[in-house]
A and B are shown apart, each in its own frame.
Chain A
Amino acid sequence: EIVLTQSPGTLSLSPGERATLSCRASQSVSSNYFAWYQQKPGQAPRLLIYGASVRATGIPDRFSGSGSGTDFTLTISRLEPEDFAVYYCQYYGNSPEYAFGQGTKLEIK
């Protein structure tokens, strides 16, 4: 079973700053099956990145994903007010079992 650990638990930044969110897998995984989601209060998650670095349809280019092996990163280059939310990583290579991280809360400083 693959376990995903996200860090930090909470990230406090200001609009315009750069955000770097991390996700570590308990074992090496294929980057082809790594995703990031954004979730705002009371809403369903929204797919941001899949295949570790491919932006989903309609996702602004300030969002980027990278990584391989056990370490993956979501970067938001310049934070907009609407970016403050909870972010989850996911590995879907062991289909049909899908592993999610516990989330990083990005809050306004």
Chain B
Amino acid sequence: QVQLQQSGPGLVKPSQTLSLTCAISGDSVSSNSAAWHWIRQSPSRGFEWLGRTYYRSKWYYNYAGSVNIRITISPDTSKNQFSLQLNSVTPEDTAVYYCARVGVGPFDLWGQGIVVTVSS
């Protein structure tokens, strides 16, 4: 059974770095037919796509313009997982963060979600 398991802190201080990990089971982060995404959801902004990574003979990365200068998504093939780092967070980055796979269809597999609060 394919699953995505998220981990990371639920509370981050303003100006610090938000770091989350998404562990993959039943698929491979290096799959040539999947892409691995981070999405967040908040009451004020709804769903916001943050970025993705995928492997097609080499690694590719795409980031949303709204977070482009603050975000890094990194695959870890040794642990079959990928991570999100979001720098210089503010209270506006408070949201539920999801990892997700685009495979056969769009976002056909999601992690369980992590509530991240940015507060001192």
From B23-31, B78-86, B102-110, the one touching the partner chain is: B102-110
Nearest residue in A to B60 (C-beta to C-beta)?
A96
Nearest-neighbor residue (CB-CB) of A47 within chain B: B108
B107 A47 Cβ-Cβ under 8 A: yes
29 contacts between A and B (CB under 8 A): A33-B106, A35-B107, A37-B107, A43-B113, A44-B110, A44-B111, A44-B112, A45-B107, A47-B105, A47-B106, A47-B107, A47-B108, A50-B108, A51-B105, A54-B105, A56-B105, A56-B108, A88-B47, A90-B47, A90-B106, A90-B107, A92-B102, A92-B106, A97-B49, A97-B64, A98-B39, A98-B106, A100-B49, A103-B46
In the bound complex, residues from chain B placing their C-beta under 8 Å from that of A97 are 49, 64
**Is A66 an interface residue, CB under 8 A from the partner?**
no
Instruction: Determine the distance from Cα of A35 to Cα of B62 in the docked complex, in whole angstroms.
Output: 21
Q: How many residues of B contact A (CB 8 A)?
A: 20
- Report the Cα distance A38→B111, complex, angstroms: 15
Contact A102 B108 (CB under 8 A): no
A-B contact count (CB 8 A): 50
Query: Would you list which residues of chain A between 17 and 71 have a CB under 8 Å from chain B?
Result: 33, 35, 37, 43-47, 50-51, 54, 56-57
Nearest CB of B to A42, in Å? 8
Q: Among residues 58 to 116 in chain B, which have CB atoms less than 8 Å away from a CB atom of chain A?
A: 62, 64, 98, 100, 102, 104-108, 110-113
When chains A and B are docked, how far (Å) is the Cα of A58 from the Cα of B5? 21
